[in-house]
Structure 1
């Protein structure tokens, strides 16, 4: 019995279909690069919209909902971009205040861009539900928080779950929790939770493996510098690309060092979509755009004048461009035959010219 054809999984967010059969869904992550200014956050929304991104994402937490102000070693960051800072201090600086959310959502919607957020506790989910967020993003560090995943999924909207640091069992548990709690669909994002991530740690082949294992749309939450990893991810099957954004890295900000500036983000949008378009389909047929060049393929031509009755040899028959003569595959059949008439140098060779 013939196997049923595989149907590529897809989900829908705010009317936009997401899956391998559709162009990549590009998410512009504003994070904490607003630097504590609502006016800057709104300018970031406008600049992000101008890049052509599909969605703008923020993060919904306060320092008190994501951590505690405790003076213990485990509450302090050791090494990396934020070395020496306490979690509480970092999140106080990076938080997007709850009272800003309505203005940010309104500006994004006015610009025609999908907008949603990453909630980090139940109060954040409640706020985003009141704003009619069309999806919820679960950050890598929260992928093991199954109660939070269930609470967000119960709102009946799709979940996008980053999988940085998660093993296979944890990924499956997160996905199952979301679907069992009424999420209409899940997207899994391959992610390396390092800031910035280096290309040798990207392991982008995980994307295809993840798609096969979990039978859902997959993507990349990209913390590497530049755009190369995102473009490569699309070539390997990523349906979603998430990348951090800033107006200018020189302005600073918690995530500015590994964020893209507006012109760079526009390049990301353009190049990932071009990469998806270039994937096309597996085929070996002549394309319409190639037809005009068929005449410039190689073929057999008379390379020196030949009198009627004289034999054709390698001295007077050559395989050259253009392609108006016999295909070069017939060379051995032609050599040794005699000319049926006088042949002039530069004539394309045809069977009717042979005795």
Structure 2
């Protein structure tokens, strides 16, 4: 695929299945995840590309959510070593995505990985929240002159602005995010997504770490153009991110709900829709005669009433009819027509 669906898709919302490291270091499981993401209707799958020794020090501790779902005595470095895929494996995954007609994305966590992804011609770069304030790294990404999706977890508005300032050669889309796994509802702060839309005028979306799918759907209803959600084959698998991910059935339900919502959002033009036309004729009202009147009579308020159906003169003209003279005899409950009036 020469162009990302992010900029040219049939849908308004670009849905990313964040496989991340949920392959648990297995190329075969990564391919199975891609297959399932395709079946779920995702626009893209996203992985994480890194060299463990370039990402963390030997002394780096794990985040709380990582210790809860992996060996608490293990260092972050040793955990990441088990989740690392080789560059050759990512080449195979990108080709597999092309064969399956789904976009391949991966978040680089070091410059070597970023340069590798550029060499294999990824269509866009996704930057994780942990690097959104890593200005020299952002400068490295900027030189590739490719679209960037920037997650903004843990950041304030000023930090987002500073990060955007590093991208002079790349178009940037922003993702609101709460970097906790799973994220609590009271910390989601979805309105911050709208704040970034208004402040920066960028394509904006939401990277969801909450349980379930309802917050994702709410984000779409609020205008999110990109949705990213962690994806796994099995939430009971060992690993740091499985518990905060959706299994295929739930992910498919989320995608369908997103498509339903984006269809329902429409174009924003307030008008009578084609499907309403029949109801309009039945449910709206018209001006009808309250009693029989003769040609030449002048209409008073006592002579007319407002009743269904809506196939006669609309009630909005009620006051204009008072004092008008009848051209014909009219019967009680007859719908008044303009041709009846002088």
TM tier, shorter chain?
0.7 to 0.9
Matching of residue 343 in structure 1 with residue 294 in structure 2: no
CA change 1:189–1:330 in 2 (3 A) is closer
Q: 2:124 matched to which residue of 1? A: 135
Matched, 1:49 2:38: yes
- 1:3 corresponds in structure 2 to none
Given candidates 29, 34, 38, the residue that maps to 2:27 is 38
Establish whether residue 323 from structure 1 lines up as the match of residue 310 from structure 2: yes
Which runs of 5 or more structure 2 residues have no equivalent in the other structure? Answer: none
Contact 1:245–1:261 (CA<8 Å) still a contact in 2? Answer: yes
24-33 vs 85-94, greater mean Cα deviation: 85-94
SS of the residue aligned with 1:30? strand
CA contact (8 A) 1:20 1:217 kept: no
Q: What's 1:110 paired with?
A: 99
Which among 75, 85, 92 is matched to residue 96 of structure 1? 85
Once the two structures are overlaid, the 10-residue window that deviates more, 120-129 or 335-344, is 335-344
Q: Distance in 2 between matches of 1:311 and 1:67?
A: 90
Q: For 1:61, which of 38, 50, 59 is the aligned residue?
A: 50
Q: Deviations over 1:146-173 (max 9, x none)?
A: 2222222222222211111122232222
For the structure 1 residues 280 and 336, does the alpha-carbon distance in structure 2 shift closer, same or farther, using more than 3 Å as the test? same
Q: Normalization by structure 2: what TM-score?
A: 0.83
Deviations 1:110-162 (A, max 9, x none): 01111121111122113212322122211101112222222222222222111
1:169 and 2:158 correspond: yes
* In 2: Cα distance, 1:172 partner to 1:133 partner: 25
1:268 aligns with 2:254: yes
Moved more, 107-116 or 276-285: 276-285
Distance in 1, Cα, partners of 2:105 & 2:9: 22
Q: 1:20·1:238 contact (CA, 8 Å) conserved in 2? A: no
2:253 counterpart of 1:300: no
Render the CA deviation track for 1:95-123: whole Å, top value 9, x for unaligned: 33434212211111101111121111122
Give 3-state SS (helix, strand or coil) of 2:228's partner: strand
Count of aligned positions: 335
Query: 2:234 matched to 1:248?
Result: yes
Quick one: structure 1 residues 13 and 24, their matched pair in 2 at CA, closer, same or farther if it must change by over 3 Å? farther
| Structure 1 unaligned spans of 5+ | 1-11
Q: Say whether residues 1:82 and 2:67 are aligned partners.
A: yes
Q: 8 Å contact 1:105–1:115 — kept in the other structure? A: yes
- Determine the C-alpha separation between the residues in 1 that align with 2:192 and 2:268: 22
